[in-house]
Amino acid sequence: MTGLLHDDSLSFLTRGYDFGAQIWRRTRQGARAVPLRLLGGDALLVRGSDGVALFYDDTRIARHGAMPAFVQDTLFGRGSVHSLDGAAHHHRKATFVDVAYEDAQVERLRPVLQTEWQSELDAWLGGGERSAYDAAVGAFGRAIMRWAGLPGTREAQTRWAARLAQIVDGFGVPYSPEYLLAYGNRLWSDRHAQRLIEAVRAGTLDAEAGTALAEWASHRDPSGDLLPARLAGIELQNSIRPMIAVARFVAFAAKELRDRPEWRSRIAAEAAERGSLVDGPLATAFAQEIRRTAPFVPMLPGRALADIELDGERLRAGGRVVLDILGTDTDPRSWPHAESFDPERFEGVEDYEALTAFVPQGGADVASGHRCPGEKLAIAGLAAAVSALSDPGVTILGSGLDVNRRRLPTKPASGGRVRAEATTSRCPVHRG
């Protein structure tokens, strides 16, 4: 690791989602690992199934202390499950699995998704022009909060969803005022979630059994003690925020659907035949290809617990191992025609977790590893959004769909503006 005389951290800030591709150009085609320097230390960027297997081997890679503090504190919350390893991680992760991953929990969410996305579709047909992104923040926020057992009016839930969405939007730009806003929204959200936990524990707020609110209010650490209310509130947010973050995928879905009218027609016909916006196989396949190709989480860091080697490259214990998420999801050795947007590659694929190079929300085993347990919820939500955006009564506008690949996280600039087709508007005022 002595050949690199410069630090790549600045390049990451300036290149954004193209950083990984620039690093891979240093080495031979198809390599699985390449050395670099990050934050003054040696690191190894890895990709593909081999890189995923290494990164999620908790006997060789630790997550604790690897995530920069400015990301951990704003996006995930201090002390959250994302910073844990070993037995402590497995213990707390089990509650996330119970809350979000079990099929019964996904089934509870589906009818709420149908209601919320039908409401957004009706608003568009009635003359509204909210962007796909803004509609998704509201629809996903209200749906996931009802699913989680959280109290509040529709308006209050929409406002909290907007705060959580802004945290996701601002955590990756520490040089910007948006980061300060994200930090402020994190403080507000932490206090609000803590009060909900305290109210349940005090008996002044009922929490339905099996909901995220009930589970985190009663969660105990390995020693048998209740989690501090503040930390339980943080994990409550980590149960609902990932769904709201999927709104960024919805913006990319609007962009791709506009460019592919044949897919819009097929998905619209599917939704009409099924009489539902939820769980259409074509919409789900399209959603999965969005998750594979859209620039979302670019990479994840870990620390080597021992000297490691991958594909001829070595890293000493203590160095950073960085999994190239986007580079793995679009790796030519892992995906036929990886550069092409092709939802058909996911048609008929039931066990997407078996695709070891498909890691838009983490990889490896959900229960024992760091894969997001809310992935099934995310797929159901994104597929419902795809169906709504495919309705023939709405138009996705072509302006503002450019993507700034230097900004983390990113999305189409306009969020994907949507309005009713003039000939289908339900109100004469909005025709023409």
| Per-chain mean pLDDT for the chain | 93
- Residue 276 confidence class, pLDDT cut points 50, 70, 90: very high
Digit-coded pLDDT (tens) for 367-378? 777 788 999 999
- For residue 423, what pLDDT is reported? 59
Asked if pLDDT for residue 403 goes beyond 60, the answer is yes
Residue-wise pLDDT for 83-111, tens only, equals 788 888 889 999 999 999 999 999 999 99
Domain ranges in the chain are 9-430
pTM of full prediction above 0.85: yes
Strand partners of residue 419 = 395
Q: Report which secondary-structure segment, H or E, holds 108.
A: helix 103-125
Whether 158 has a pLDDT exceeding 90, the answer reads yes
In the predicted model, is pLDDT for residue 426 greater than 60?
Answer: no
pLDDT of residue 13: 82
Q: Give tens-digit pLDDT for 208-256.
A: 999 999 999 999 999 999 999 999 999 999 999 999 999 999 999 999 9
Cis check for the bond before 228: say yes or no (omega within 30 of 0).
Answer: no
Residue 10 is predicted with a pLDDT of: 86
* Res 175: pLDDT: 83
- Read off the pLDDT of residues 199-214 as tens digits, 9 standing for 90 and up: 999 999 999 999 999 9
Decide if domain 9-430 falls under CATH 1.10.630.10. Answer: yes
Angle of the 154-170 helix axis to the 177-202 helix axis, nearest 10? 130
Query: Is the pLDDT reported for residue 428 higher than 50?
Result: no
| Closest alpha carbon to 147 in 181, 173, 183, 111 | 111
* Mean pLDDT calculated for residue range 330-350: 96
The backbone torsions φ and ψ at residue 301, rounded to the nearest 5 degrees and listed phi first, read -100, 150
Say what the pLDDT of residue 398 is: 96
Question: DSSP string of 185-239?
Answer: HHHHHHHHHHHHHHHHHHTSS---TTSHHHHHHH-B-TTSPBPPHHHHHHHHHHH
Residue in the block written with tokens 């617990």: 305
Note the pLDDT tens digit of each residue in 319-329.
Answer: 999 999 999 99
Residues ≥6 apart with Cβ < 8 Å to 302: 55, 61, 62, 63, 66, 320, 321, 322, 323
- pLDDT-above-70 percentage for the chain: 97
pLDDT digit string, tens, across residues 20-32: 999 999 999 999 9
140 close to 381: Cβ distance less than 8 angstroms: yes
Query: What spatial distance separates the first Cα and last Cα of the chain, rounded to whole Å?
Result: 64
Q: Give DSSP secondary structure letters for 291-350.
A: HHHS----EEEEEESS-EEETTEEE-TT-EEEEEHHHHHT-TTTSTTTTS--GGGGTT--
Residues 135-139: contacts with CB within 8 Å, 24+ apart? 135/250, 135/418, 136/246, 136/247, 136/250, 136/251, 136/385, 137/161, 137/162, 137/165, 137/244, 137/247, 138/162, 139/113, 139/385
